[in-house]
Chains A and B, each alone.
Chain A
């Protein structure tokens, strides 16, 4: 019984990590049609923000909004300097963001060196709940991710910004003709996508290594979630993260971690086979 409870909690925390890492990728891909291969590097930079905050004696929790702000600015600069010029050409965005990812890794290496760094866990230890001991930090991570995802969904459904975004996704040119400034919206979407990646990076920093190459490990997982969940619905990110987390946790529990990875890849292939096109204009 306890083993099952623990495994459920493991599944939920993995779900939360996958969802927050993939959220920004889903936003940028769904709303702008831009395949951002530098998304993992945004996560890596978010982790470095947490590292710098730690070395300067700031609270880890403060580093979350800080990472969001820093990565929002980074996202805006990259949108203006690069993405804006090519965002209607998906093959170009793939190439350009791949190049960008290499540049960001090298910049991180020049600034921080190749060495592995780490951010200490602000709340070490475990909490007893539901009859089992489970790491306290993971409980907090789940709550924070739920908050960030809910806020993002609300912003895209309830706000005027969300309305504008949906209009653009439905028909970009018609929206432009109606006087909607799609440029500004793109800028915001890319900035927000980068900001959520920044939060993700800062959140996962205490769970592993902070290093220039760290983003490479996050990108495949994020793409997996977006593929499984569907690309132009933000709910899809949550659904995709849920399915991937369930499959991974289940297969590790009953078999092992290597088969878990194979199973999630097979899942993506299956989903692609049977996916029906999402109606245009659906965002959430």
Chain B
């Protein structure tokens, strides 16, 4: 017969168990589970009023190379092309750039040792839901770049590595890409926490690292380019537009408690005040919040005309579904969201989402010939029920094309040479017209989609070539 655990040993056992549980609680509370795309990042540079820091003097540099043809651009190396600093809103989405020049001469089939493109992305964990479209797009990257003649006559090959939405795993994944797969470049779409963990490896190995996820801004490194949307791009033109569109002027800012919502709200406050509006409430909730009843009451009592929710994943779904029953749904207080994407919106359902506006750098509904063809090809290739192509996968695709064009222009895959060729590089992709800025970010179109009664996204406004309000001088 075994000994009976007496009450003393039971209480010791209890203590041990409690410690484990507390540890888990603390871990959860400290927000290590940084959902989704962005998370702790470096201190913010760019003083709020240092906008238009980019001098936009040399405007009309050589025209961009076209998407399908990163073929020999000898001599015509684009010089620091700064797109117009002041985004000019247009009702029509960016017009497609004809690509006929490239189609004329068939590029020679690439041969030789492949150029290796690593893709660091989240395919599991909380942000794993964004993984499948990026995995799909990696196939199209190989196909399209190779069809256009490859890089310096060599074919490209992509290597995927999953960070499991965990910075420690992300670091290992980066190590694998660099040391085992020997990649020439890493394209990343993952949290800022993973970027911070993985960046030193890319710097040490002198591997070019293009971070393509939307994020809070402020990154600057000699091996890095950041091509995702930053808050200044998503908000500067859209906040005044939203206020005019709805007639609302008092805003409530509700975000998850980490760096990306906080930085986004810093920018938002500035643009709201510049447009003559006011912020009547700013609340943050921990990641993984399930009950929004008290927050809903605070919002209802604030008298806000508009809500800017910077909530991610399940938190967004919980807030929006509960908000309707508390009488502060979209029909009562219109939303302008900067991360709600199809997956999250789909789970909320059209009864909750109809009328919401979302500001992002890409929607698959972008109406240009280039994009319509691309999206049709995407669904044809991966099936009608494939995880939809979206801003994260689109930015990875663009990053690959930018890299290919720069490496072709440089005639090498040497990091410093390609980085030099990246600056000022401009092209038209399914996203629209994009240009690498002197701050190593991307001037890009910003679209506003309005959710329709059937849950579909309709682009109601687009702003071409919106400049990021960033500064970076890695030298």
Contacts and interface: CB of A to CB of B under 8 A. Distances in A.
Contact of A114 (B11, B131, B293): B131
Interface in B205-247: none
A208 B286 contact: no
Interface in A250-284: 252-253, 256-258, 261-262, 265, 268-269, 272, 277, 279-280
Interface in B13-48: 13-18, 20-22, 24-26, 28-29, 33
B61 interface: no
B325 A135 contact: yes
B128 A114 contact: yes
Contacts of B288: 216-217, 220
A94 interface: yes
B344 interface: yes
Given A14-B291, A133-B327, A219-B24, A3 B317 contact: no
A210 B347 CA distance: 8
A209 interface: yes
Interface stretch (B2-10, B63-71, B263-271, B406-414): B2-10
A114 B16 contact: no
Contact of A118 (B18, B129, B317, B387): B317
Interface string A93-133: 01000000000000001000011111011001110000001
A7 B343 CA distance: 32
A277 B294 CA distance: 35
Given A17-B291, A171-B4, A216-B33, A136 B17 contact: no
B7 A277 contact: yes
A207 interface: yes
A173 B294 contact: no
B322 interface: yes
Given A249-B294, A252-B294, A257-B294, A126 B327 contact: yes
Given A173-B2, A209-B317, A220 B24 contact: yes
B325 A137 contact: yes
B351 interface: yes
Contacts of B18: 227, 268, 272
B294 A116 contact: no
B286 A258 contact: yes
A219 B409 CA distance: 53
B114 interface: no
A35 B29 CA distance: 20
A6 B132 CA distance: 42
Contacts of B317: 116, 118, 208-209
Contacts of A233: none
Contacts, number: 174
B289 interface: yes
Contact of B13 (A33, A209, A280): A33
Contacts of B203: none
A25 B301 CA distance: 37
Interface string A50-65: 0000000000000000
A115 to B, nearest CB: 6
B354 to A, nearest CB: 14
A13 interface: yes
B297 A115 contact: no
Instruction: Pick the most buried of B294, B324, B326, B351: most chain A CB atoms within 10 A of its CB.
Output: B294
B20 A209 contact: no
Contact of A252 (B24, B29, B131, B295): B295
Contact of A265 (B29, B124, B132): B29
A268 B283 contact: no
A214 interface: yes
Contact of A253 (B294, B314, B321, B324): B294
Contacts of A252: 294-295, 298
A152 interface: no
B284 interface: yes
Contacts of B124: 114
Given A138-B293, A207-B290, A116 B24 contact: no
A206 B21 contact: no
Contacts of A94: 17, 20
Contacts of A174: 4
Given A114-B131, A207-B318, A209-B318, A268 B301 contact: no
B295 A257 contact: yes
A223 interface: yes
A227 B321 contact: no
B1 A121 contact: no
Contacts of B25: 220, 223-224, 265, 268
A227 B22 contact: yes
Contacts of A280: 7, 10
- 5 nearest A-B residue pairs (beta carbon): A135-B325, A208-B318, A116-B347, A209-B314, A209-B317
5 contacts: A121-B321, A126-B325, A216-B288, A268-B22, A277-B11
Interface of B: 1-2, 4-5, 7, 10-11, 13-18, 20-22, 24-26, 28-29, 33, 124-126, 128-129, 131-132, 257, 283-286, 288-291, 293-295, 297-298, 301, 313-314, 317-318, 321-322, 324-327, 343-344, 346-349, 351, 387
Interface of A: 3, 6-7, 10, 13-14, 17, 29, 33, 35, 37, 88, 90-91, 94, 109, 114-118, 120-121, 124-126, 133, 135-138, 171-174, 204, 206-211, 213-214, 216-221, 223-224, 226-227, 231, 248-249, 252-253, 256-258, 261-262, 265, 268-269, 272, 277, 279-280
